[in-house]
Amino acid sequence: MKTPFIWLGSKRAEKRGVGPIGSRLDYAAKMGLPVANGAILLHEFYQLLLDEKLIHWQNGRFHVDDPQEIHDALYTAVRFPKINKPVTVRPVFNIQINQPTNYECIKFTNASQLTDTLCTVWQVAGAPSTNIRRDIIIQETITPEYLGIAISKSTEQIDQTIYAQPDETKIISPTDADRSLQMSRLKRWESANNNLPTFAQRLQKLLRGVRRTFGDESWQIEWADNGRICWLTKIEIAQ
């Protein structure tokens, strides 16, 4: 069996069957865009645990008899490198549900936290009979001062973003207008607009990098700014 994980930036995600959410982030990291360190734990690891009966489905959720067996399977059997910093874990697959699917500040070397988080994310896709790849992104957790969603459309000269601070309980969406900004689309030689907040100046540069890397199409990105770097956390085709 091939190694059931790939590092972000290896440019191997698409070849291994990972969907657009994961493969674009992998390619972005390869091309030098600011993507937090991490890996994609492939569907094959989930399938291995299922085949070996280390996880089983019962009453609408996955169950594990011994979390240490999952820990050992990941770090000893498949030799997943240990990430000693807290991590954020989220699915690569798109499922429309009314519950959070990002799990932050997880201590992934702790057998119980590791197992609980993996099973919770995997079960978002439903029972094992559901024909969905269950690839998972695992990245070092970013501690943002601001985070948001930005839209860059090829038919417009203005990029737009809505943003929030992490302690705000409201879930942001592209339709929010309470905390929105409009930014001119930077050309290759242009500097960021000094009249914008500093996080928005970094976001302007990130959006320019996205267009340079993926083409001047219509993109929706999720971002998180920690006061020094505006990180790319997700990229999709804008509707």
pLDDT digits (tens, 9 = 90+) for 44-79: 999 999 999 999 999 999 999 999 999 999 999 999
CA distance linking residue 64 with residue 84, whole number of Å: 23
- Joined together, the tokens standing for residue 65 give 């008899």
Please list, residue by residue across 36-67, b when 16 or more beta carbons sit within 10 angstroms of its beta carbon and e when fewer do.
bebbbbbbbbbebbbeeebbebeeeebebeeb
- Joined together, the tokens standing for residue 30 give 């390869």
Residue pLDDT tens, the chain, 239 long: 689 999 999 999 999 999 999 999 999 999 999 999 999 999 999 999 999 999 999 999 999 999 999 999 999 999 998 888 999 999 998 665 545 567 888 999 999 999 999 999 999 999 999 989 999 999 999 999 999 999 999 999 999 999 988 775 455 555 555 688 999 999 888 999 999 999 999 999 999 999 999 999 999 999 999 999 999 999 999 98
Per-residue pLDDT, 1: 66
The reply to whether 117 and 14 lie within a common domain is yes
Per-residue pLDDT, 95: 65
Any alpha helices (H) in 73-182, and if so which ranges? 111-122
Domain residue limits at 191 = 146-237
Domain end (from 101, 119, 140): 140
pTM for the model stands at 0.91
Domain end (from 140, 174, 203): 140
Per-residue pLDDT, 98: 47
Q: 140 has which bridge partners? A: 87
- Token look-up 């207008």 returns 177
Q: Smallest Cα–Cα separation from 139: which of 8, 236, 32, 229?
A: 8
Percent of the chain with pLDDT over 70: 92
Type of residue numbered 20 = P
The count of structural domains within the chain is 2
The reply to whether 121 and 163 lie within a common domain is no
Per-residue pLDDT, 166: 79
Check if the beta carbon of residue 45 is closer than 8 Å to that of residue 54: no
Q: 88 has which bridge partners? A: 139
- Token look-up 């089983």 returns 56
Domain end (from 140, 172, 195): 140
| Distance linking the first and last C-alpha atoms of the chain | 38
The reply to whether 91 and 172 lie within a common domain is no
The reply to whether 127 and 55 lie within a common domain is yes
What torsion do the CA atoms of 176, 207, 167, 196 make, to the nearest 10 degrees? Answer: -90
Per-residue pLDDT, 185: 93
